[in-house]
Chain A
């Protein structure tokens, strides 16, 4: 399988600038030493001219490193701009991911509504019937009332799910159990999953350490990745595999599909903002780029393995957080 990694040009430039700067310092120190030696050595002209030459070089070098500092500053400000751009994109995509799950929500809510609608209709039918207060009608009313209450509870459960999606843990970093998060993501996409032809395999490591991150952001990452995997198998069905694994200091969560895979010529572009292969109106192309940015900010990365015709795997690697102190079992 081919592996695609993201090139981190900013980090590269920064470390290069640092290294050049250090070399220049060394250079200047050497020149100073030479000067001192020439001074002490008396009238050796060649030593003086060598020192002058080196001094000239070091002036140039200092200029170069000064320029590099400028470049670095520029890069930092660009990075700041990029962060601001992604923050904004993240804010906007919160709406779009709500849009993505909204058809699922609509379906989930319309089912209990449809049932309540029929129950109420049935009560009205009986009321307009021949014996609205007979024993049969009375037991039917009671029966319908129970059913309506049941469906109201079911609807409330769905709205709670939406609320918890949009509100829970808005700002702060917290310890997140990726197993729980992945299971919740699957519940959210339940009705997408239940409609035929996609089966789910879970390979969750029960001893997975938590990661530190912002919950709604991480939720977006896994919603995007899972949605993408489902979309990849929309036409022909397949197997969705959700796996977690502890790898040294890292935690790896993988979303695998058995869809058509990523064509080689598109592989480089998949993390670019606004890149999408979906028709207009179905995808905005921001999901993967935002996800990559979120994960990178938490000190992790997303790796992709894909084989055209054999599906894709997206691996989210995040630094494991030290487990919270074990609570004493109260019983």
Chain B
């Protein structure tokens, strides 16, 4: 099985850095972006399986970014990250097709489990798309 290609998007650059190191050490292929704009450019340029996306960012926020990602790459799975348990944002995220919603500070085991589930979901959806053809 090839490595899961993960993109981490958060305006807290140090969080992106360290989380990337830790997840890379666990066998994932990780890229980081510090803004929604940068993330969208990366997503357009190369394939990703799962995106960890912060809700609250200056400029374009996570919800808007989610909408864009789903428009560009409907199959890419998005796990939303948030610093506060805003029910509205979670509901809005789910409605727009986010796979999961995680609260900061993150528990790495949970992150790994959710990312793997999201990857599995993407694989199944891809297979379904292929068999539909």
Q: Which residue of A lies closest to B103 (CB)?
A: A110
**B58-80 contact mask (Cβ, 8 Å, vs A): 1 or 0:** 11110010000000000000000
- With A115-B12, A125-B25 already in contact, the answer to whether A196 and B59 are too (CB < 8 A) is yes
- Chain A residues with CB under 8 A of B86: 103
The minimal Cβ–Cβ distance linking B38 to chain A, given in whole angstroms, is: 16
Contact A125 B106 (CB under 8 A): no
Stretch with Cβ within 8 A of A (4 or more), from B13-21, B43-51, B93-101, B123-131: B13-21
Asked if B83 and A107 make an inter-chain contact with CB atoms under 8 angstroms apart, the answer reads: yes
Interface membership of chain B positions 20-59, coded 1 if the CB is closer than 8 angstroms to chain A and 0 otherwise = 0110010000000000000000000000000000001111
Is A172 on the interface with B (CB-CB < 8 A)? no
Task: Scan B78-117; emit 1 where CB is below 8 A from any A CB, else 0.
Answer: 0000111110000000000000000111101000000000
* CA of A103 to CA of B104, assembled, Å: 13
Roughly how many angstroms separate A147 CA and B21 CA in the complex, as a whole number?
A: 15
A191 touches B56 (CB 8 A): yes
Closest A residue to B18 by CB, please name it. Answer: A118
Query: With an 8 A cutoff between CB atoms, is A7 at the interface?
Result: no
Q: Among the listed A110, A111, A119, A196, which residue makes an inter-chain contact with B61, where contact means beta carbons less than 8 Å apart?
A: A196
Identify which of B18, B60, B82 contacts A122 (C-beta below 8 A): B18
B15 touches A114 (CB 8 A): yes
Contact present for B84 and A114 (CB under 8 Å): no
Bound-state Cα–Cα, A236 to B14, Å: 32
Q: Check: A194 CB closer than 8 A to any chain B CB.
A: yes
Which of B83, B85, B86 has the largest number of chain A CB atoms within 10 A?
B83
Hey, which chain A residues are within 8 Å of B103, CB to CB? 110
Q: Indicate which residue in B14, B22, B25, B84 contacts A107 across the interface (CB closer than 8 Å).
A: B84
User: What is the chain A residue whose CB lies nearest that of B104?
Assistant: A114
Q: Please tell me if the beta carbons of A122 and B21 are within 8 angstroms of each other in the complex.
A: yes
A-B contact count (CB 8 A): 67
Residues of B within 8 A of A (CB): 12, 14-15, 18-19, 21-22, 25, 56-61, 64, 82-86, 103-106, 108
Q: Is the CB of B106 within 8 A of A110?
A: no
Which residues does chain A contribute within 8 Å of B84, judged by CB atoms? 103, 106-107, 110
Q: Among the listed A106, A117, A121, which residue makes an inter-chain contact with B83, where contact means beta carbons less than 8 Å apart?
A: A106
Across the interface, do A115 and B18 meet the contact criterion of CB distance under 8 Å?
A: yes
A226 to B104 CA separation, bound complex (whole angstroms): 28
Enumerate chain B residues within 8 angstroms of A62, measured Cβ to Cβ: none
Mark each residue of chain A from 84 to 124: 1 if its CB lies under 8 Å from any CB of chain B, else 0.
Answer: 00000000000000000001001111110111111101100
On whether the beta carbons of B106 and A114 are closer than 8 Å, the reply is: yes
Q: Which residues of B contact A195 (CB under 8 A)?
A: 56-58, 61
Query: Are B56's CB and A107's CB within 8 A?
Result: yes
Residues of B within 8 A of A106 (CB): 83-85
Contact A111 B25 (CB under 8 A): no
Whole-angstrom CA separation of A115 from B21 in the bound complex: 13
User: Across the interface, do B58 and A194 meet the contact criterion of CB distance under 8 Å?
Assistant: yes
- Interchain CA distance A108-B61 in the complex, whole Å: 16
Task: Give the residue of B25, B60, B64, B105 whose beta carbon is less than 8 angstroms from that of A110.
Answer: B105
**A125 in contact with B61 given A113-B104, A114-B12 (CB within 8 Å):** no
The 7 closest A-B pairs by CB, nearest first: A110-B83, A117-B105, A114-B104, A107-B83, A118-B18, A114-B105, A106-B84
Nearest CB in chain A to that of B20: its residue: A118
Which A residues are in CB contact (< 8 Å) with B106? 114, 117-118
Is B22's CB under 8 angstroms from A118's CB? yes
Q: A103-B84, A117-B105, A117-B106 are in contact. Are A111 and B21 (CB under 8 A)?
A: no
Give Cα A121 to B79, complex, Å. 20
Please measure, in the bound complex, the distance between the C-alpha atom of A205 and the C-alpha atom of B63, giving whole angstroms. Answer: 37
Query: Which residues on A sit within 8 Å (CB–CB) of B60?
Result: 196
Q: List 11 A-B contacts (CB under 8 A).
A: A107-B56, A111-B12, A113-B104, A114-B104, A116-B105, A118-B106, A119-B18, A121-B18, A191-B56, A195-B61, A196-B60
